[in-house]
Amino acid sequence: MKAALFREPHAPLSIEEVQIDNPRSREVLVRTAAVGVCHSDLHYIDGLYATPAPTILGHEAAGIVEKVGSDVHYVKPGDHVISCLSVFCGHCHHCTTGRPFICENPETARAATAPPRLSQDGAPVHQFYNLSAFAEYMLVHEHALVKIRPDMPLDRAALIGCAVTTGFGAVTNTAQIEIGATIAVIGCGGIGLSAINGAAIAGAGRIIAIDLNDGKLQTARQFGATDTVNAAQADPVEAVREMTGGGVAYAFEAIGMKQTTEQAFRMLATGGMATVIGMVPEGQMVEIEAAELINDKVLRGSNMGSNRFRVDMPNYVEFYLDGKLHLDSMISRRVGLADINAAFAEMKRGEIARSVITFDI
């Protein structure tokens, strides 16, 4: 199969032929229909996070089941599915206490003594987050998938695999905002737009979108933002505090930067919560004023929207089909696998919300 291989940081991905194994007992072979170009993948390309090489990046995908292993009963060939990187085992401490999104059980990957799922000329190719979606096929544990309705367009379903689940989930699962809450979202890419959309569906009273790009801010209004701040033209903390008379109850950082994480905390009202959705680069330290903690302010993280993806993702599909979740507007471009490097370049320049790579199926 053709796949986009990552070989070293700061270098383009290369389109190469890779071999993929047949599914074993709990594994599923999925024909990839669409995969989103996500900022999290860009962090690895830019060397901000480390991964073994060679590897196939990509994690925000949807497709059609091609084959299943002997012990798979959840899906069958022909089923439409979304993948999720928070693969769960179902019986560890985290899974059984309602937090499958932080399952750390390695049994969902193949044992080191088994043949690799992915290889090239006999040498193993690392599987990124147990998915590796920048390829024509994915071979994954069945607990990496959720079945969806066959009438859901797969290019839009792919966005649910990360952007929607991460952004929407951070608002409703992690922060659990109240109806009427005042919130701010820093960053209006795919995850930030999903947080805004989720907040609107959840009944937030005021939603302030913050970005450097006027085009993205205009899109944010279509997703439910009631106010916008261009951070290139005004200090976002001062602007939000002035607009709200002291700060917001909830702030969401959807970029993954030290500066914007600190801004999210500083724009809180007394008793507020700042949730970091973006991936701040490894090794960076976030600074907050300790005295602000006395005012009952909270800085917390969110892993993949604190999801229970087999519950959440079908709900997001229904929201889309009911016209509430605005996935059509989130896709800026549809491209082929050969255009993946150009898509990442556009993302890095901040020009677009989301590109989606589509495959002929």
Report, as residue numbers or ranges, the catalytic residues: 38, 40, 43, 59, 162
Omega within 30 of 0 (cis) for the link into 314: no
Q: Model confidence at 198, in pLDDT bands (50, 70, 90)?
A: very high
The phi-psi region of residue 79 (left if phi > 0; otherwise alpha if psi is between -120 and 50; otherwise beta) is beta
pLDDT over 80 at 350, yes or no: no
One DSSP character per residue, 322-350 reads TT-S-HHHH--EEE-GGGHHHHHHHHHTT
Q: Tell me how far apart the alpha carbons of residues 54 and 56 are, in angstroms, rounded to a whole number.
A: 7
How confident is the model at residue 279, as a pLDDT? Answer: 87
| Extents of the domains making up the chain | 2-147+331-358, 167-303
Per the CB < 8 A criterion, the answer to whether 82 and 164 are in contact is: no
Query: 211 - beta bridge partners?
Result: 230
CA distances from 282 to 43, 51, 266, 279 (A): 10, 12, 22, 8
Pairing state between β 80-83 and 14-17: unpaired
CATH architecture type of domain 2-147+331-358: Alpha-Beta Complex (3.90)
Q: Tell me how far apart the alpha carbons of residues 70 and 56 are, in angstroms, rounded to a whole number.
A: 26
Residue with tokens 């033209």: 233
Mean pLDDT of the chain: 95
Measured in Å, how far apart are the chain's first and last C-alpha atoms?
13
CATH fit for domain 167-303, picks 3.30.365.10, 3.40.50.10680, 3.40.50.720, 3.40.80.10: 3.40.50.720
Query: Percent of the chain having pLDDT more than 90?
Result: 91
pLDDT, mean of residues 191-201: 97
Q: Tell me how far apart the alpha carbons of residues 257 and 210 are, in angstroms, rounded to a whole number.
A: 14
Per the CB < 8 A criterion, the answer to whether 230 and 212 are in contact is: yes
Q: Read off the pLDDT of residues 269-322 as tens digits, 9 standing for 90 and up.
A: 999 999 999 988 888 999 999 999 999 999 999 999 999 999 999 999 999 999
Strand order across the 55-56 sheet? 14-17, 2-6, 55-56, 126-127
- DSSP secondary-structure letter at 144? G
How confident is the model at residue 77, as a pLDDT? Answer: 98
Per the CB < 8 A criterion, the answer to whether 336 and 15 are in contact is: no
Query: Percent of the chain having pLDDT more than 70?
Result: 99
pLDDT over 90 at 332, yes or no: no
How confident is the model at residue 83, as a pLDDT? Answer: 98
Q: Following CA atoms 340, 314, 360, 326 in sequence, which dihedral angle do they give, to the nearest 10 degrees?
A: -60
Q: What is the pTM of this model?
A: 0.94
Which tokens sit at 34?
A: 């669409």
pLDDT over 80 at 347, yes or no: yes
How confident is the model at residue 139, as a pLDDT? Answer: 98
Per the CB < 8 A criterion, the answer to whether 354 and 163 are in contact is: yes
pLDDT, mean of residues 209-220: 94
Q: Read off the pLDDT of residues 222-268 as tens digits, 9 standing for 90 and up.
A: 999 999 999 999 999 999 999 999 999 999 999 999 999 999 999 99
Q: Tell me how far apart the alpha carbons of residues 82 and 95 are, in angstroms, rounded to a whole number.
A: 20
Q: Read off the pLDDT of residues 91-135 as tens digits, 9 standing for 90 and up.
A: 999 999 999 999 987 789 998 899 999 999 999 999 999 999 999
